[in-house]
Chains A and B, each alone.
Chain A
Amino acid sequence: MGLRWYHFTAWGLFAIGLALLPEIVSKGTLRTFIFANYLVIFAISWDLLSGRTGYISFGHPFLIGIGAYTSAILTKRFGIDVELAIPIAVIVTMIGGLIVLLPALRIRGSYFALVTLAFMELMYQLVQVIRPDLTGGTRGMSGIQTLTRGAVNGFYFSSFLMFVIAISSWFLLRTRIGTALTAIGLNESAVEGSGLSVTKLKMFAFMASAFVAGLGGAFYVHYLGSLAPRALFDINFVFTIIVAVLIGGASTIIGPIIGALFLTFLLEYLRPYLPGAERYFIYGGIALLLYMYQPKGIYALITSGWQMLQEKSVK
């Protein structure tokens, strides 16, 4: 798998940094970190599906929403324990992942992106119409059981979740499966020609992505304690997830972490100057410029900068 000592050192330092953070920063900043952590989880989930295989999903909230809604409905309407509701939500989300997989067996590229967008919009409209007594209709739900109290607990909890998901996806993508998934993104028929089952590989990627999305969605809703269809199945939410991955660097795991942190804090620091949705103007502008200039994201900028430094020092 090409593991080196500095990989472990880097992950270890990252974990220590996360553990020490509440000692350093204020509670307000910690709350921002919690949101960043959940965005990292969603971004990793998107990256697992789209970053490697090239099947761009514009409807990722479809999966996140299934996880969030299932867990919220089970705990609030049926009084099932959270410990049981979240695993069920994850399984249901993985079934949702199979639904997304179906079109991917036949179409790719732009058309797949559009189907996922249609899935999300369909979900948004259906959630409001079908059984509003369960889903809460247009207004959504509130008063959902929360798992943690206070910023510090919430931060440790979400950081732990994010760290586990990040490091396991990182390991996963360094295995031969990860390489095969990258190959699908480059040339699908070549992968098929080398005797690998493309369908199985795609199914694996979609299941892994749905697993992470369901986990993230369910825990997120139990952190917030409420959910609203318009905030969840929103094209701005898709945009935030995709931009977090692309700005950081797709298919690197470290990229989405950098991207999500960068974006959440950019939005947060813009808040005093621009209170409303205007912030997306600067945020999207930066994302667009960066994407046009370096589609591989900040991670690629850092690595190329590092290489240039090394070359200079050798000379």
Chain B
Amino acid sequence: MLQILIQGMLLSGLYALIAVGFTLIFSIGRILNLGYGAYLMLGGYIYFWASQSIGLPKLVAVGMAMIFGVLMGIMKFQLIVKPLKGNHVAIEISTLILAVVLQAGVVFVFGDSSKILLPIVNGVVYVADAPVTYNMLIATVSSWVILLSLYTFIRTTDIGRAMQAVSMDTKGAAICGIEPDRVNMVTWALSGGLGALGGVFFASYTQLAPSMWVGPLIISVAVVIVGGIGSIIGTLIVAHIVGFMEVIVVSVFAPELRGVFTMGLIILVLVLRPQGLFGREEL
């Protein structure tokens, strides 16, 4: 019981970190960035390359992964999202194509085989006979810290409030003198950086493989769809629902059924309550 609680908390923290970048894009402009998983994949690989191939300090490698993610986000916005001018389906298809292209690029550079990432922080602590790696603990704690600071960033800073305004009403925001394009670009950059960071933790939790982007993408989709809200607090709540459900399914039923309930939840919620469990909110 306690073990389920601990594992659930840890996994949910990781999921919240993964999903928050996806949520940001969804809350601004209701766009589903199906190439989101590629940030995670590239973040993980950049970290692997910097820390394990070149041997840079781990913190520097994490920073490099995040910077790369930010650049990716900006490029994606400038080259794909902006030219397609709000055609949602076209954006989804082209970001999906982009993700497959990037996957092939990673195979080209790093090879097809999966790689084990050394933990970012070594060590294990035992809580009630359950092993908890410091790595997961750090991921969960940093996830909470990042989500809370993101929340404060959006609530208090000028650019954060501009993001809120754009997510409520793009035209209204434009009339008030906010450039939606600029705000969108900042959001895409943030999303890319967060995705890359999530990727570093996700890769050290599972392993590094060219096809690793599909799993987190589906988790992010589940979180956004089930919650139905593009808000940060909502992301945190729903990430815990999804995370705990997975842990319970794995430990009570069978490990093979891990994803089944997540998929079932997506389908059920979309068919029965397309607006999501909690309805819509702004950021």
**Which residues from chain A sit less than 8 Å from chain B, CB to CB?**
54, 56, 58, 102-103, 106-107, 109-111, 113-115, 117-119, 121-122, 125-126, 128-129, 235-236, 239, 242-243, 246, 274, 276-281, 283-285, 287-288, 291-292, 295
Q: Nearest CB to that of B274 among chain A residues?
A: A107
- A102 smallest CB distance to B (angstroms): 6
- B76 smallest CB distance to A (angstroms): 11
Q: Is the CB of A129 within 8 A of B104?
A: no
> Tally of A-B residue pairs with Cβ under 8 A?
119
Q: Is the CB of B101 within 8 A of A285?
A: yes
The 9 closest A-B pairs by CB, nearest first: A284-B101, A280-B104, A281-B104, A122-B263, A278-B108, A118-B266, A277-B107, A129-B256, A118-B263
Q: Is the CB of A284 within 8 A of B94?
A: no
Q: Nearest CB to that of A99 among chain B residues?
A: B267
Q: Nearest CB to that of A246 among chain B residues?
A: B93
User: Given contacts A122-B263, A125-B256, are A243 and B97 in contact (CB under 8 A)?
Assistant: yes
Task: Give chain B residues whose Cβ lies under 8 Å from the Cβ of A125.
Answer: 256-260, 263
B124 within 8 A of A: no
B96 within 8 A of A: yes
**Which residues from chain B sit less than 8 Å from chain A, CB to CB?**
30, 32, 80, 83-84, 88-90, 92-94, 96-98, 100-101, 103-105, 107-108, 112, 210, 214, 218, 221, 225, 254, 256-260, 263-264, 266-267, 270-271, 274
Interface of A is mostly: helix
Q: Nearest CB to that of B105 among chain A residues?
A: A281
In the complex, A129→B260 CA distance in Å?
10
Q: Is the CB of A284 within 8 A of B97?
A: yes
In the complex, A278→B80 CA distance in Å?
22
In the complex, A276→B105 CA distance in Å?
11
Task: Give chain A residues whose Cβ lies under 8 Å from the Cβ of B108.
Answer: 274, 278, 281
Q: Is the CB of A292 within 8 A of B270?
A: no
Task: Give chain B residues whose Cβ lies under 8 Å from the Cβ of A242.
Answer: 93, 96
- B238 smallest CB distance to A (angstroms): 15
Q: Is the CB of B104 within 8 A of A279?
A: yes
